[in-house]
Structure 1
């Protein structure tokens, strides 16, 4: 797979395109990601913020403080509630795309796990991946290990 990547909300009201390669892909097991995904973890795929283009519709936005104490803007569909992007205030050059909203997800392969200390007890954390008990201070290792096949 190569850019551009397309995706959209569950209801089809909003469509987007990513015009650059993702920087990495990981699973986050923090309590907020568990709540927003209604599952055991959330997926995040950081991309350059200026590479994300909304092709159709307009997402709503709200802000929250993450488990690490940092502010995050969350973009979602007002119609169906699907979460699509997280824009961290600490890094205005990155958008964290929720990769399950991509049209083609067959190539996704996460390289790590964040907030493993909050993981559900039944989730098996692969020790061959890059794993952090909480929020890493930097993501260099996650970026270096990521490859699109």
Structure 2
């Protein structure tokens, strides 16, 4: 598996919101918090941390501010038409957390870790060889390093 030629694109289910990622994300990982379970309708959501400067979006987006399990207030961004969850803006400056499943081609973006494993569904098996956190990752450096290491093998 190797990184694609950037830019790559993604968007919502109805196509009203599209985005372009101009460079590799900093990391891709799974989040097992209860909020992600509720928002995604699945046992976890796939998160892709991207630099603000590498992300462009078009279309009408609605924003919902939610208080996360961590206590942080996070701006959640959805398509104004189909209400598909696309990305959130965390308190950390300069980044967005994009739902990796909204990429047009997800094949190049395997998760390198998991966060909030303490709240995972009981039947979910966590790969212990990945970078895993029982709660939120206060320092995301291990996730960034794992992504860099994975993709440097492919170079």
Aligning the two structures, in what range does the TM-score lie when normalised by the shorter sequence? over 0.9
- Aligned counterpart, 1:119: 120
- Aligned counterpart, 1:2: 5
- Aligned counterpart, 1:61: 63
Aligned-residue offset at 1:78: 1.8
Could you tell me which runs of 5 or more consecutive residues in structure 1 were left unpaired when the two chains were aligned. none
Q: Aligned partners of 1:32, 1:87: CA distance in 2, in Å?
A: 15
Aligned-residue offset at 1:2: 3.0
Aligned-residue offset at 1:86: 0.7
- CA-based RMSD of the aligned residues comes to 1.1
Q: How high is the TM-score relative to the length of structure 2?
A: 0.91
Q: Aligned partners of 1:125, 1:69: CA distance in 2, in Å?
A: 25
* CA displacement 1:89-113 (0-9 Å, x = unmatched): 2x12010010111111111111101
* CA displacement 1:33-52 (0-9 Å, x = unmatched): 00000000011100001221
Could you tell me which runs of 5 or more consecutive residues in structure 2 were left unpaired when the two chains were aligned. none
Q: Does 1:133 align with 2:134?
A: yes
1:31 to 30, 34, 39: 34
Q: How high is the TM-score relative to the length of structure 1?
A: 0.94
Q: What is the number of residues matched between the two proteins?
A: 147
- Aligned counterpart, 2:47: 44
